[in-house]
């Protein structure tokens, strides 16, 4: 097992690139760009290239007469419109995406022969799609749900799709149960409710009967299921994969993505309000970050398990409901991914992108994880249904930058025009081309790892997959106090929506009691159920007992880059305080928006007119990380009698956000009946700003949480 962590190259090296590298990257991007179209300056034409003189009126017999069937322009337009929608994904339907690149930190050829991981000068284009699992395309971004984290690498050797989630485990161990899980978590079949959530009977009926789901469910009940933004999510490959080097040596690996912005989440009340105030909150945040140059960045790493260490753990590394604690196997960083360009067309790119776990390149291979093995079939099968046939790889967003030649022709939506006579192999008509590339050759062809297997064909679950509660217990006990309270509240909320009491009781007594008795007792109390006195299984002792790497408290970035601060102002505001704050935020890589009572400009105390970015009603506190109220007697007086402004501050306080009150704004403490704390700062001098920024960097003022629950919002 490897514990060595190669040092990442300096930021300056990653930011810059030599001429040859730029040319290589640009050539790859241009191979994708040739499919893009900009109709600026172009005549309006039909799909057959005929110029259109009148696009306003159907061809009719007289001005008030019947329309004519011969109007081929109208028929083409309406026919295309009638067929514009394709089936949405069964799961992960609600998503958004972005383009970017991946760059390796070093030559990792000792680990793998995959080219994109062996050349630190190479920038490999990527497209990433983030998504929720349960809801349809029109559902909200901030619902409690697992998030998909899928990356398509356009490598020189072909496309590699790393199709993962923002949680490192899954609900089931075997792919044959996947339809059952999805049917259970989807809206109830009799009324198609709820949209986007798991707080209903069929989901909890299923998971309370499937103890293997216990670990994933507790992740879903944690703050991980309501991420602050897509930019602050970790990503995981979930399954164990293999990396294989040029000598044929194999290592098992778990894939990890770690955001440079840190990992943090919304609070539940905030998530619910955002679902109503801005359904598109996550996709808007990602889009705006890229547009303003705050390019989201993740470090790509692996946990490496030597072939001979496969069976050294007290769990099975092939079990997709288990993670490998970082205390046992540290993450080895391999490179970084930067998202720096938004799609030009949502449908053509984000909706038509087709990810398949079976898309791998030489140097990467699968493990015998039974859930992964089922996904290798399922994803390709569903893309054929969604995208109208087996040629989905020819869509521009899916087309590899590496050339592809084979005997596969015809079928729906074929765009390549093959000129050769032979559509079979071997052949002599076309000189034998295209030909196989021996695996041993330079830039050799793909060769599966020659794993030796000697066993009977049986339908049976491995005994090594039988421990369902140890890692759920590890997760809960690794959480900070406030994270544990949030998990208790989430179970209580979700199970409180379950109509059948026997399902609630089964989840408490047969699942939660085997994870942690105090967790079970607290949830039982909140549901009005008898508290269990013991679990149904003997607690297994495993190592480690706690894993600090699982708590988001330990995963913050330590800075306030890309954070957003709302400045509340009215006429008579202290303009100097606004300027000073904006300057300090800009230096720290953060952003400010000036908000007024309306969208009209405000006038400062010295008579200057300031344009505002919006109104307090239009840009609510849930859209910001912190709030600043500058001084100015008239401005503060106006805000102190404005119900919207007062609610703004109380809501920010309730959601545990940093608040700074400068100058006369200190008076608002009395109006709101609040007391200054580590995140409620009074003053605007350098010392106060430093404390304000430190509170923002901590993401939330957790010490305030118990008190804030009594604040109306």
Residue with tokens 């002792």, as numbered in its chain:
541
Whether residue 246 contacts residue 108, with contact meaning beta carbons closer than 8 Å, is answered with: no
Classify residue 530 by its DSSP letter. Answer: P
Q: Residue 474 is encoded by which pair of tokens?
A: 């590890």
Q: How is residue 345 written in tokens? A: 């067309």
> How far is Cα 137 from Cα 86, in angstroms, rounded to an integer?
12
- SS3 of 36-69: CCCCCCCCCECCCCCECCCCCCCCECCCCCCECC
Give the neighbor-by-neighbor strand order of the sheet with 626-629: 614-615, 591-596, 564-568, 626-629, 658-661, 680-682
Q: Which helix (H) or strand (E) holds 15?
A: helix 11-15
The encoded tokens of residue 425 equal: 């192999």
> In this structure, is the dihedral angle defined by the CA atoms of residues 594, 597, 599 and 601, taken in order, positive or negative?
negative
Q: What 3-state DSSP class applies to 571? A: coil
Is the Cβ–Cβ distance between 235 and 164 less than 8 Å?
A: yes
How large is the C-alpha radius of gyration of the chain?
Answer: 28
CA distance 74 to 545: 69
Q: Answer whether 269's CB lies under 8 Å from 655's CB.
A: yes
Residue 377 DSSP label: H
| Catalytic residue numbers, as ranges | 92, 165
* Residue 309 dihedral angles phi and psi, to the nearest 5°: -100, 10
- Residue 426 CA: distances (Å) to CA of 404, 407, 408, 582: 17, 10, 14, 68
Contacts of 710 (CB under 8 A, 6+ apart): none
């Amino acid at each position: 097992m490897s514990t060595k962590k190669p040092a990442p190259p300096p930021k300056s090296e990653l930011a810059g690139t030599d001429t040859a590298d730029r040319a290589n990257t640009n050539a790859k991007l241009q191979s994708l760009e040739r499919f893009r179209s900009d109709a600026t300056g172009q005549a309006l034409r039909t799909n057959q290239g005929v110029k259109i003189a009148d696009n306003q009126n159907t061809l009719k017999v007289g001005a008030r007469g019947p329309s004519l069937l011969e109007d081929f322009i109208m028929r083409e337009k309406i026919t295309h419109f009638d067929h514009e929608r394709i089936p949405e994904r069964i799961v992960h339907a609600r998503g958004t995406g972005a383009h970017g690149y991946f760059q390796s930190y070093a030559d990792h050829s000792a680990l793998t022969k995959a080219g994109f991981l062996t050349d630190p000068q190479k920038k490999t284009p990527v497209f990433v799609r983030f998504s929720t699992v349960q809801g349809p395309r029109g559902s909200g971004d901030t619902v409690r749900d697992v998030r998909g984290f899928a990356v398509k690498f356009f490598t020189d050797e072909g496309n590699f799709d790393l199709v993962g989630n923002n949680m490192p485990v899954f609900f089931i161990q075997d792919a044959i149960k996947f339809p059952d899980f999805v049917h259970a978590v989807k809206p109830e079949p009799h009324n198609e409710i709820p949209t986007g959530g798991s707080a209903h009977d069929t989901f909890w009926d299923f998971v309370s009967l499937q103890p293997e789901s216990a670990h994933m469910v507790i992740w879903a009940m944690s703050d991980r299921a309501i991420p602050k933004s897509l930019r602050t999510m970790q990503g995981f490959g979930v399954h164990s994969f293999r990396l294989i080097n040029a000598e044929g040596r194999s290592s098992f690996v778990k894939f990890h993505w770690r955001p440079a912005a840190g990992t943090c989440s919304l609070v539940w009340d905030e998530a619910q309000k955002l679902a109503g105030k801005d359904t598109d909150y996550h996709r808007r945040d990602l889009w705006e970050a890229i547009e303003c140059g705050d390019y989201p960045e993740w470090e790509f790493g692996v946990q490496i398990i030597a072939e001979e260490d496969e069976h050294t753990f007290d769990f099975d590394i092939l079990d997709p409901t288990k993670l490998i604690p970082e205390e046992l196997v540290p993450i080895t960083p391999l490179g970084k991914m930067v998202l720096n360009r938004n799609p030009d067309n949502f449908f053509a790119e984000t909706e038509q992108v087709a990810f398949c776990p079976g898309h791998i390149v030489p140097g990467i291979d699968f493990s015998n994880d039974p859930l992964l093995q089922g996904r290798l079939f399922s994803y390709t099968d569903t893309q054929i249904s969604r995208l109208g046939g087996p040629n989905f790889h020819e869509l521009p967003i899916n087309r590899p930058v590496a050339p592809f030649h084979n005997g596969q022709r015809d079928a729906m939506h074929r765009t390549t025009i093959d000129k050769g006579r032979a559509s079979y192999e071997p052949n002599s008509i076309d000189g034998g081309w295209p030909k196989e590339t021996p695996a041993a050759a330079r830039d050799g062809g793909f060769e599966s790892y020659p794993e030796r297997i000697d066993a009977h064909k049986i339908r049976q679950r491995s005994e090594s997959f039988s421990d369902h509660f140890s890692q759920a217990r590890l997760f809960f006990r690794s959480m900070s106090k406030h994270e544990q309270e949030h998990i208790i509240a989430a179970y209580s909320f979700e199970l409180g929506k379950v109509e059948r009491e026997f399902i609630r009781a089964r989840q408490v007594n047969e699942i939660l009691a085997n994870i942690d008795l105090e967790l079970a007792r607290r949830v039982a109390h909140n549901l009005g159920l008898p508290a269990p006195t013991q679990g149904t299984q003997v607690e297994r002792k495993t190592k480690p007992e706690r894993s600090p790497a699982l708590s988001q408290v330990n995963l913050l970035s330590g800075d306030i880059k890309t954070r957003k601060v709302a400045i509340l102002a009215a006429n008579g505001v202290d303009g100097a305080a606004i300027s000073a704050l904006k300057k300090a935020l800009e230096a720290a890589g953060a952003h400010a928006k000036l908000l007024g009572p309306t969208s009209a400009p405000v006038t400062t105390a010295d008579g200057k007119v300031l344009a505002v970015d919006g109104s307090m009603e239009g840009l609510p506190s849930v859209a910001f990380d912190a709030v600043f109220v500058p001084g100015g007697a008239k401005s503060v007086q106006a805000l102190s009698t404005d119900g919207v402004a007062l609610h703004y501050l109380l809501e920010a306080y309730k959601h545990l956000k940093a608040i700074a009150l400068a100058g006369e704004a200190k008076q608002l403490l009395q109006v709101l009946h609040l007391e200054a704390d580590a995140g409620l700062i009074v003053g605007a001098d350098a010392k106060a700003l430093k404390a304000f920024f430190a509170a923002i960097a901590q993401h939330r003022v957790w010490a305030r949480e118990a008190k804030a629950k009594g604040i109306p919002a």
